[in-house]
Structure 1
């Protein structure tokens, strides 16, 4: 009975550690995106995304604005690389099941009174969590 209890305990600890490490990996991916957009690092932004990912953004003249990740990352090339641009990100939630996940983050643009809410879809690809899609909305 003692052996059974110890085996069950170690199994439960292993499951808990795995779940925590998956969530930490997802957080790392989202934080890579946040760092890239906060410090004008296009390559860091692309690192967080699957190479064929699209972003679904708000636009005053379009119902939906679909932007490929390469185009989105290029928007940060014109700014001074590595310099903080006022964007502060905070992960609000993560929901993960097996090799897929959904995350929600808030991005505040300091000095502009703008708040973005981003919803990310992620997939574990070749052992790494990648953002495969992002939808965002903007509020003042």
Structure 2
């Protein structure tokens, strides 16, 4: 194996390590959101989002319901902070392309026996992955 092949191999390994690292960071960002919403913690929830992010949510009376992250977080502030509310979730897919990514999570609400699918659009800003938009739908 010559030096050219070794350099190419090292570049491939480095790119794979960076992609895995980005995927891990994205999962951590989404897990922060899930934990923040599960324990009524608006600050933790906001930590996962870009400050001007919007959520595109389902609503029985609206075709599309756009909620700014600050408003969404304010709903959590009305509940007992730190108390588990029955909401659980897990990341089920991540796709990274340079400094943008998508992630998909499954969210369960124990008390309502409801299941949601959340799709996140993320951007790497100042070295950190932030959710810049989220769409959600209820699975009946």
Same fold (TM over 0.5): yes
TM interval, shorter chain, is over 0.9
Q: For the residues of structure 1 that align with 2:135 and 2:53, how far apart are their CA atoms?
A: 11
Shift of 1:48: 0.5
Q: For the residues of structure 2 that align with 1:66 and 1:85, how far apart are their CA atoms?
A: 23
Counterpart for residue 125 of structure 2 = 125
Any stretches of 5+ residues in structure 2 without a counterpart? none
Counterpart for residue 17 of structure 1 = 17
Q: For the residues of structure 1 that align with 2:53 and 2:111, how far apart are their CA atoms?
A: 30
Secondary structure of the corresponding residue to residue 77 of structure 2: coil
Counterpart for residue 27 of structure 2 = 27
Q: For the residues of structure 2 that align with 1:2 and 1:96, how far apart are their CA atoms?
A: 32
Secondary structure of the corresponding residue to residue 84 of structure 2: coil
In the TM superposition, what are the counterparts of 1:59-70 in structure 2 within 5 Å? 59-70=59-70
Q: For the residues of structure 1 that align with 2:111 and 2:71, how far apart are their CA atoms?
A: 25
Which stretch has the larger CA shift, 10-19 or 45-54?
10-19
TM-score normalised to the size of structure 1? 0.94
Counterpart for residue 139 of structure 1 = 139
User: Deviation per CA, 1:6-61, whole angstroms, max 9, x where unpaired?
Assistant: 32332222111111001111111111100100111100111100000000111111
TM-score normalised to the size of structure 2? 0.94
Aligned length: 140
